[in-house]
A and B are shown apart, each in its own frame.
Chain A
Amino acid sequence: MSMSKTSINPFNHDVMPDNTPLVNVNYNGKWIQVPKGLNVVEVTQSQGEFLPHYCYHEKLSISGNCRMCLFEMGMPKMDASRQPVLDANGKPEIAWMPRPQIGCATNVTEGMGIRTNSPLAVDCRKGVMEFLLINHPLDCPICDQAGECKLQEYASEYGSGESRFVEDKIKKPKHFDLGKNIVIDDERCILCTRCIRFAREVLDDDVLGIVNRGGNNTVTCHPGKHFDNEYSLNTVDLCPVGALTSKDFRFKMRVWFLKETKSICTSCGTGCNVTIGSREQTVYRLTPRHNEEVNSQWMCDTGRLNIHYLSGEDRFTRPLSRVKGELYETSWEDVLRQAGSRLKTFSGKQISLLASGRMTNEELFLTKTLIDELQVSLYDILPRQGQGDKFLRSADLNPNSIGASLLGVSNDGKNLQAIKSGIQSGDIRALLVLQEDATEAGLSVEELSKLELIIYVGLAPNATAKAAHFVLPSAGFTEKHGSMINVKGRVQRLNQAHLPPGRAMDDWEILRDLRSATTGGNGIHTIEDLFRSMSAKVPALAGLTLNKIGDHGVQLSLTAK
């Protein structure tokens, strides 16, 4: 693995430079070669094993406080002339140290001995597990972390089956407000300081700290400060126990019921890799998914929390068709037949199309096909600029502006004015609006009312839907398949976590069927078919398939427009 290209992490203990020399290490009795300087936690990982730890995190400074990764360490035995003493097999003999060492702060050197399963190492883990649990509230039944809690995991693996603690537990604050998105339960906290180090080292927002002393140590905000950082919720993921919880997610769903789907966040052009946690038809949370090339292990709170519109009460669940001024629910067959035949009555010059930078490549490709086949002359997307930051948030709030340009649907908003004038002059008589609200693109309600045909593809009511003749209910980003290209030119995949509500359909299917109803059959049956026909036509995507894009995306070589 190469060094991270993103400079968002001050520490990358898990990524050694490519040219790191190897050293010989005796790992649980077996001689192995590992990169010099790798710490022992990472060494065990490289061997497909695991040295349990709480405070160590590969992207944070080494704190060494939890003592869970204690192991037995040895160094080569030296003779009087400072030469290693060799055993019968010609391998160096190891002198084992009586005092255990922590794996996270021990970097391997030539000839080092590592025992992670010796009686001493096992006894250390058992002791630490017991210490961590004696004052813990053991409120797993009502704890949001249950099911993904390191205390639970290691207790079952390394703990003792019984409690020897008969004293009173230490009392600490139970639901202290750390900031707008986070609550801390200090009794659950094991004081690993991951949250403090993340705020200090990665965010440079040093507002968290510890007050009081010894057994009464308490993680809190410094006086007068709040942990209101745009990236605060990453501490909830970092917290190995149930101390930090997300106000948005807490008490909503037991994590073991959540289906996990790998996808990307669509709240800006960065395209942070995420895991969608959903149950049945509802998304309960997004969590960042590790991708060193995009977001490392982090994501912003805005993106993470931008899921609730998906389960809004107002979502369109059936196609709608306007009859005598009112929208009525109808069937897909009916709405597509009617919309298709109405659309065919206009010439290309009379039709405009407003697409979206929030659409997938597949949707945009079909849109462009439709544009070409109908010879639509005026079309564009709605550009969306916001405030970016130095960390992950992009100033481009459209997740797929690059795809929209690459696939020829975007004119960077330059055509929006022409569409407006066309409508005003009466030259443009029909408008297709895909996943946008035309009023956000500068059209007034009056202008919309002049149009003879508006076909709207989208999730929920807006001014365009209100004026539309046909409403085709589509899918949100957790409900669809497809791909997008982030601002750095990386093509990444969205996967469907759950079905859209009611009879709403994935947008690419709507567009396929609309095209079929307008210009005839096209032989596209699956999203894979669609991607194949797209990659055959678009040189930048040549040779790619959705499978080849994989979970971590593929960097494209895009030439500047």
Chain B
Amino acid sequence: MAVAERRILFKHIDEPGYTVDIDCYLKHGGYEDLKKAIKLEPQFIKDEVKKSQLRGRGGAGFSCGVKWGFIDAKKTTKPIYLICNADESEPGTFKDRQIIHKDPHQLIEGMIISCFANSVHLAYLYIRGEFPEGARILEKAIAEAKAKNFLGKNILGAGYDLEIYVHRGAGAYICGEETGLIESIEGKRPYPRIKPPYFPAVLGLYMCPTIVNNVETLCNVKHIVNMGGEAYARIGKPNNTGTRLIGVSGDVKKPGYYEFECGAITLGELIYDVCGGIRNDNKLKAVIPGGSSSKVMRADGRYKVKGANSEMTEIGLNDIPMDFDTFAAVGTMSGSGGVIVMDETRDMVDCIENLSEFYAHESCGQCTPCREGAQWMKKIIHRMNHGHARKEDTDLLKNVADNIAGRTICAFGEACSWPVQSFIAAFRNEFEAKAK
């Protein structure tokens, strides 16, 4: 029996008659949470976000409250910036674009509240270059919000000023890396910065304290203000609170985007109940659970998780509950919520060739292991997949990936090597079979 969606962020998405206009948004209770928030103490909102245990929805799942806690408006003389990371580029991920294209004011409201809570007076909305329509919609939404005094000078008479600028990317995946994104806004090549010393909270945009949050994360802040941090924390599971936007693609009958309480649904329920099962009623072979960078899982694998009484139990793929901690425990990650489903007809070397081409194309090339390694992996896999595999290639490929992961400036190193490492770990026989 299908688990019911719990639509909070997606509440009005695809609702007949629901438009991106501010009037429509206002009719549905829009900006009421801002009106409530602007009367609160900024620190109170930050505390509520902390209580909510909200975790970042961009991929890493870092605590939003902790991230905001790095910023102390009283201790800095520099301006504080907030950046909404709307550079949704991870293959298999298409959640933020639903909000951007269909409910932009929800994001704007979430941003304004988040800015107010962190004493930010200038925020950037960094949207990927491939979303020209999204950028247009957001520009219009910002103008509408400004006209209604939800933005600009003396917002709602509360003496608080805020401007939001939309900044369009130019088509580089690496701009989703927060420090690459910051460089991009500064007008430079989006080379991720070295950390230390350039942690955004300390030396971010224009060397000022900066918060970078994902679209979904910022939208959640609005709902945390609405229901209170503690109430929000009751949604989902402890440390895995709230809902998650999930995008399912690949070999299912009903690919699409859904919203569930965190951990309320298992992978099997998602694939078979929500998405109608595997296309042509084929057998499930593998799942990439959180965007293309997350490690692939075999359908017939056995996974160790903590049971209800903290004892370790082994479960199958279909029984894995979809939350941050469980995915981490079974050696992958919930990442950006992009679930990619592969059925028995898929050649895994062919699949990883597709992904490695993407990563080789998107490596910014700043640091050696990723610049050289991503290209090399692509070339090895391409050769293997096109009739020229050698016996030693599988080990070579694995070793190249090992020489990248953990040794680069930014997480792209892991993003490009984890898929390769995990595909080999899970489907070594298919790689070896390429060498006749």
Contact residues of A with B, CB < 8 Å? 62-68, 70, 98-100, 102, 105-106, 123-124, 127-128, 130-132, 134-135, 164-168, 170, 190-191, 209-210, 212-217
Q: Are B369 and A67 in contact (CB under 8 A)?
A: yes
Docked pose: A553 CA to B197 CA in angstroms: 38
Given contacts A213-B172, A214-B364, A215-B374, contact A128 B380 (CB under 8 A): no
Name the residue in A65, A99, A135 with the highest tally of chain B Cβ atoms < 10 Å from its Cβ.
A65
Q: Are A131 and B196 in contact (CB under 8 A)?
A: no
Name the residue in A98, A132, A166, A168 with the highest tally of chain B Cβ atoms < 10 Å from its Cβ.
A166
Q: Are B363 and A131 in contact (CB under 8 A)?
A: no
Interface pairs (11), CB distance under 8 Å: A62-B194, A63-B194, A67-B367, A127-B369, A130-B403, A131-B373, A132-B368, A165-B376, A190-B368, A210-B189, A215-B363
Name the residue in B364, B367, B380, B409 with the highest tally of chain A Cβ atoms < 10 Å from its Cβ.
B367
In chain B, positions 365-381 with a C-beta closer than 8 Å to chain A are: 365-369, 371-376, 379-380
Q: Are A131 and B368 in contact (CB under 8 A)?
A: yes
Kindly identify which residue among A62, A131, A216, A217 contacts B369, using a CB–CB cutoff of 8 Å: A131
Docked pose: A190 CA to B406 CA in angstroms: 20
Q: Which residues of A contact B197 (CB under 8 A)?
A: 105
Given contacts A127-B403, A168-B379, contact A217 B367 (CB under 8 A): no
Q: A67-B407, A132-B368, A214-B364 are in contact. List 4 more A-B contacts (CB 8 A).
A: A131-B371, A134-B372, A166-B383, A216-B365
Docked pose: A106 CA to B361 CA in angstroms: 30
Q: Which residues of A contact B194 (CB under 8 A)?
A: 62-64, 102, 105
Minimal beta-carbon separation of A108 from chain B (angstroms): 12
Q: Which residues of A contact B402 (CB under 8 A)?
A: 127
Q: Are A215 and B409 in contact (CB under 8 A)?
A: no
Given contacts A102-B194, A167-B383, contact A67 B368 (CB under 8 A): yes
Kindly identify which residue among A106, A123, A134, A215 contacts B365, using a CB–CB cutoff of 8 Å: A215
Chain B residue at minimum C-beta to C-beta distance from A66: B368
Docked pose: A64 CA to B410 CA in angstroms: 11
Q: Are B407 and A191 in contact (CB under 8 A)?
A: no
Interface status of B112 (Cβ within 8 A of chain A): no
Interface status of B408 (Cβ within 8 A of chain A): yes
Contact bitstring B378-410, A, C-beta under 8 A = 1, else 0: 011001000000000000100000110011110
Q: Are A135 and B409 in contact (CB under 8 A)?
A: no
Minimal beta-carbon separation of B236 from chain A (angstroms): 30
Kindly identify which residue among B361, B363, B379, B407 contacts A128, using a CB–CB cutoff of 8 Å: B407
Q: Are B406 and A98 in contact (CB under 8 A)?
A: yes
Minimal beta-carbon separation of A241 from chain B (angstroms): 12
Contact bitstring B395-436, A, C-beta under 8 A = 1, else 0: 010000011001111000000000000000000000000000
Q: Which residues of A contact B409 (CB under 8 A)?
A: 64-65, 67
Q: Are A100 and B406 in contact (CB under 8 A)?
A: yes
Q: Are A64 and B189 in contact (CB under 8 A)?
A: no
Kindly identify which residue among A63, A65, A105, A213 contacts B363, using a CB–CB cutoff of 8 Å: A213
Contact residues of B with A, CB < 8 Å? 172, 189, 191, 194, 196-197, 360-369, 371-376, 379-380, 383, 396, 402-403, 406-409
Q: Which residues of B contact A132 (CB under 8 A)?
A: 368, 372
Minimal beta-carbon separation of B366 from chain A (angstroms): 5
Q: Which residues of B contact A124 (CB under 8 A)?
A: 403, 407
Chain B residue at minimum C-beta to C-beta distance from A98: B406
Chain A residue at minimum C-beta to C-beta distance from B195: A105
Q: Which residues of A contact B369 (CB under 8 A)?
A: 67, 127-128, 131
Minimal beta-carbon separation of B188 from chain A (angstroms): 9
Q: Are B371 and A66 in contact (CB under 8 A)?
A: no
Q: Are A215 and B406 in contact (CB under 8 A)?
A: no
Q: Are A131 and B403 in contact (CB under 8 A)?
A: yes
Q: Which residues of A contact B376 (CB under 8 A)?
A: 131, 134, 165, 167
Minimal beta-carbon separation of B209 from chain A (angstroms): 20
Name the residue in B197, B362, B363, B371 with the highest tally of chain A Cβ atoms < 10 Å from its Cβ.
B371
Q: Which residues of B contact A190 (CB under 8 A)?
A: 368
Name the residue in B172, B361, B365, B406 with the highest tally of chain A Cβ atoms < 10 Å from its Cβ.
B365
Docked pose: A475 CA to B234 CA in angstroms: 89
Docked pose: A63 CA to B194 CA in angstroms: 7
Q: Which residues of A contact B408 (CB under 8 A)?
A: 67
Chain B residue at minimum C-beta to C-beta distance from A167: B379
Kindly identify which residue among B196, B365, B373, B380 contacts A191, using a CB–CB cutoff of 8 Å: B365
Q: Which residues of A contact B403 (CB under 8 A)?
A: 123-124, 127-128, 130-131
Q: Are B365 and A66 in contact (CB under 8 A)?
A: no
Chain A residue at minimum C-beta to C-beta distance from B193: A64
Which 4 A-B pairs give the minimum distances between C-beta atoms?
A127-B403, A131-B372, A217-B365, A215-B375
Q: Are B365 and A127 in contact (CB under 8 A)?
A: no
Minimal beta-carbon separation of B111 from chain A (angstroms): 30
Q: Are A214 and B363 in contact (CB under 8 A)?
A: yes
Q: Are B364 and A65 in contact (CB under 8 A)?
A: no
Q: Which residues of A contact B379 (CB under 8 A)?
A: 167-168
Q: Are B375 and A214 in contact (CB under 8 A)?
A: yes
Q: Which residues of B contact A214 (CB under 8 A)?
A: 360-365, 371, 374-375
Q: Which residues of A contact B373 (CB under 8 A)?
A: 131
Minimal beta-carbon separation of B17 from chain A (angstroms): 43
Docked pose: A65 CA to B368 CA in angstroms: 7
Q: Are A213 and B364 in contact (CB under 8 A)?
A: yes
Kindly identify which residue among A100, A130, A212, A217 contacts B407, using a CB–CB cutoff of 8 Å: A100
Q: Which residues of B contact A215 (CB under 8 A)?
A: 360, 363, 365, 371-372, 374-375
Name the residue in B361, B369, B406 with the highest tally of chain A Cβ atoms < 10 Å from its Cβ.
B369
Docked pose: A66 CA to B371 CA in angstroms: 10
Chain A residue at minimum C-beta to C-beta distance from B409: A64
Q: Which residues of B contact A170 (CB under 8 A)?
A: 375
Minimal beta-carbon separation of A67 from chain B (angstroms): 5
Chain B residue at minimum C-beta to C-beta distance from A126: B403
Chain A residue at minimum C-beta to C-beta distance from B189: A210
Chain A residue at minimum C-beta to C-beta distance from B359: A214
Q: Which residues of A contact B363 (CB under 8 A)?
A: 213-215
Q: Are B406 and A191 in contact (CB under 8 A)?
A: no
Given contacts A100-B406, A215-B372, contact A167 B380 (CB under 8 A): yes
Chain B residue at minimum C-beta to C-beta distance from A170: B375
Minimal beta-carbon separation of A560 from chain B (angstroms): 44
Minimal beta-carbon separation of A141 from chain B (angstroms): 23
Docked pose: A264 CA to B175 CA in angstroms: 48
Q: Which residues of A contact B396 (CB under 8 A)?
A: 164
Minimal beta-carbon separation of B309 from chain A (angstroms): 26
Chain B residue at minimum C-beta to C-beta distance from A212: B365
Docked pose: A65 CA to B408 CA in angstroms: 8
Minimal beta-carbon separation of A187 from chain B (angstroms): 13
Minimal beta-carbon separation of A199 from chain B (angstroms): 15
Kindly identify which residue among A100, A123, A217 contacts B371, using a CB–CB cutoff of 8 Å: A217
Minimal beta-carbon separation of A129 from chain B (angstroms): 9
Minimal beta-carbon separation of B313 from chain A (angstroms): 27
Minimal beta-carbon separation of B57 from chain A (angstroms): 24
Docked pose: A66 CA to B409 CA in angstroms: 10
Q: Which residues of B contact A165 (CB under 8 A)?
A: 376
Minimal beta-carbon separation of B412 from chain A (angstroms): 10
Q: Which residues of A contact B374 (CB under 8 A)?
A: 214-215
Minimal beta-carbon separation of A47 from chain B (angstroms): 22
Q: Which residues of B contact A64 (CB under 8 A)?
A: 194, 367, 409
Minimal beta-carbon separation of A124 from chain B (angstroms): 6
Docked pose: A456 CA to B367 CA in angstroms: 60
Q: Which residues of A contact B366 (CB under 8 A)?
A: 65, 191, 217
Chain B residue at minimum C-beta to C-beta distance from A70: B407
Kindly identify which residue among A135, A212, A213 contacts B372, using a CB–CB cutoff of 8 Å: A135
Docked pose: A216 CA to B364 CA in angstroms: 9
Q: Which residues of A contact B380 (CB under 8 A)?
A: 167
Q: Which residues of B contact A68 (CB under 8 A)?
A: 368
Q: Are A65 and B367 in contact (CB under 8 A)?
A: yes
Chain B residue at minimum C-beta to C-beta distance from A193: B366
Name the residue in A131, A164, A167, A209 with the highest tally of chain B Cβ atoms < 10 Å from its Cβ.
A131
Docked pose: A354 CA to B80 CA in angstroms: 68
Minimal beta-carbon separation of B374 from chain A (angstroms): 7
Minimal beta-carbon separation of A57 from chain B (angstroms): 15
